[in-house]
Amino acid sequence: MGRRRQKHLVLILAREFASNLATPTLIADADGTLVFYNEAAEEVVGHTFAESGEMPLDEWSSSFAPRDKHGQPASPNERPTRIALDERRAAHERFRITSRDGVDRDVAVTAFPLFAHADEFVGIVAIFWRE
């Protein structure tokens, strides 16, 4: 019997949780693929999840040209989402981004890893706010 394609239950539950939040929230799987962001996040990033679809999280994040407080491009390795994926710990940072609608926005991002079991990393959740 081959392994059938199925999101981990933790991601399914996380998506349902995020769907009911007014806080912008995104979810990526353990491979770093953006698998969902909610309607509140759509307002911040300027397009719907239906439009973007699943894609590598780094690619998606880079499309907003995140900069630090000095206006310098934020290193991908310093982004909270990348830290949560690679180091599997929570991280927080502030950025200025340029949304798809061309508007610059100051946002704060908090990302944390999801473990189904101590040795089973299944993905990350990132929440963000307009500053």
CB of 128 to other proteins, least distance (A): 23
Q: Does 21 bind other proteins (CB under 8 A)?
A: no
CA distances from 59 to 1, 20, 66, 120 (A): 34, 26, 12, 25
Task: Give me 119's structure tokens.
Answer: 């040795």
Task: Give me 32's structure tokens.
Answer: 């770093």
Query: Among 31, 56, 116, 130, which residue interacts with other proteins (rule: CB under 8 A)?
Result: 116
Of 16 and 59, CB closest to other proteins: 16
Task: Give me 64's structure tokens.
Answer: 């907003």
Q: Does 88 bind other proteins (CB under 8 A)?
A: no
Q: Which residues pair with 32 in a beta bridge?
A: none
Q: Applying CB under 8 A, which residues contact other proteins? A: 1-10, 12-13, 15-16, 116-118, 120
